[in-house]
Amino acid sequence: MAGALSHLRILDLSRVLAGPWAGQLLADLGADVIKVEKPGEGDDTRAWGPPFLKDADGRDTRESAYYLSTNRGKRSLAIDFTRPEGQALVRQLAAQCDVVLENFKAGGLAKYGLDYASLRQVRPDIVYCSITGFGQDGPYAHRAGYDFLVQGMGGLMSLTGEPDGDPMKVGVALTDIFTGMYASVAVLAALAHRDRTGQGQHVDLALLDVQVAVLANQASNYLVGGMVPRRLGNAHPNIVPYQAFPTADGHVILAVGNDGQFQKFCGVAGCPALAEDPRFATNAERVRNRETLVPLLKAALGARPSAEWIRDLEAAGVPCGPINNLAQVFDNPQIQHRGMVARLDHPEAGQVNLVANPIHFSETPIAYDRAPPRLGADTDDLLSDLLGLDEVAIAELRAKGVV
């Protein structure tokens, strides 16, 4: 069955993470995504290992686990668009595409004639999505932006880590990933606008803007309350108890979202008087008296092992859970039932296991039928099928180093 976006073709000029993440999501939804890479080099992330995917003989391929995580479902076209001939090829391809994704520095593609102003000349209704660190305008527009830097500049690291420890980044490149997600939504909105009006447009996304946007309740706490939020470790600024607690043999997460759940917890923990104490009876009071309550809860939870707490609290309807490592995550029966590992055929490795898309459609299910492509694997087919070039013309381009 064709995917929901099988009528769309995407020209993906991006590399590393934010742009490729958007391209992968659109590919998962059925779009034909053409990943343009420089011959002989390709996306930087191909070399970001180890680990690397191993071939059938156990030898490392040229595809890192990092690259594999964000390029499923695409076709790879190797073109050097720093050369005039390569620029001409990309413009011809753009004329047959609905969307262009790129994450070069602001204005960086203009010198190649591949910016929005140039490509709208060959495809007036093109949706052109630019992803940069700081946007297309403003005093920082020409700075290079990286996820780690933006987590710091955008406030996330000021909220992450123990109160008396160092500021910490999140363990994955969350700003890049959120930017890719916002880019996908923006592209689909722009396409919906095009369907109604016939107009294409330029979509401008900045990592810094996205990082500020996803501060969510913490940003609102500051804008509404006027106080700069501080690091709370695993605790929550607006809910108590909502954090990790040490147990007799490890840790357990307690996520009490309302007063009824707190009463149930106190019953299981053998301390019902805490739920009746005016200092702790409501969430607002528990937040105000956090410093008094949390040590009492730590003492109670430290008396029993994690598995017992999880068993008894789940039975009582109190949200709780373990802190799993990734081996435990992928062994989890719920994760396995939901099919969160996608197994794709790969020409060198035989098979590659990747994290599946979490979206489940009733009518247009996601098809995992194209592994992340080897560099330039689809060059000849794409130049032939889309641009009508014959073997001689392709050979000439290859001899010149254009493809």
Q: What is the CATH number of domain 9-214+337-400?
A: 3.40.50.10540
**What pLDDT, on a 0 to 100 scale, did the predictor assign at position 377?**
96
Q: Report the sign of the C-alpha dihedral through residues 181, 185, 188, 190, in that order.
A: negative
Chain region(s) in the chain for CATH 3.40.50.10540: 9-214+337-400
Give dist(CA 403, CA 397) in Å, integer. Answer: 6
Averaged pLDDT for residues 93-97: 97
Catalytic residue check, 176: yes
Question: In this model, does residue 4 exceed pLDDT 90?
Answer: yes
Task: Give residue-wise pLDDT tens across range 181-194.
Answer: 999 999 999 999 99
Q: What are the Cα distances from residue 378, in Å, to 28, 52, 55, 75, 77?
A: 18, 21, 20, 6, 6
Q: Name the residue among 363, 24, 369 with its Cα closest to residue 184.
A: 24
Q: Indicate if the pLDDT at residue 1 is higher than 80.
A: no
- What's the DSSP call for residue 313? H
For residues 99 and 191, is the Cβ–Cβ distance under 8 A? yes
Per-residue model confidence as pLDDT tens digits over 388-399 = 999 999 999 999
pTM of the complete model: 0.93
What single string gives the DSSP state of each residue in 229-283?
A: ----TT--SS-SSEEEEE-SSSEEEEE--SHHHHHHHHHHHT-HHHHHSTTTSSH
10 Å Cβ neighbour count for 378?
18
Say if residues 307 and 263 touch (Cβ distance below 8 Å).
Answer: no
Which CATH superfamily does the domain covering 242-324 fall into?
A: formyl-coa transferase, domain 3 (3.30.1540.10)
pLDDT by residue (tens digit) across 315-372?
999 999 999 999 999 999 999 999 999 999 999 999 999 999 999 999 999 999 999 9
Where in the chain is CATH 3.30.1540.10? 242-324
Q: Measured between alpha carbons, how far is 250 from 227 in angstroms, rounded to an integer?
A: 34
Selected catalytic residue, list 176, 249, 277, 378: 176
The pLDDT score that the predictor gives to residue 2 is 85
Q: What is the pLDDT averaged over residues 4-19?
A: 97
- pLDDT grade for 135, boundaries at 50, 70 and 90: very high
Which pLDDT tens digit goes with each residue over 44-75?
999 999 999 999 889 999 899 999 999 999 99
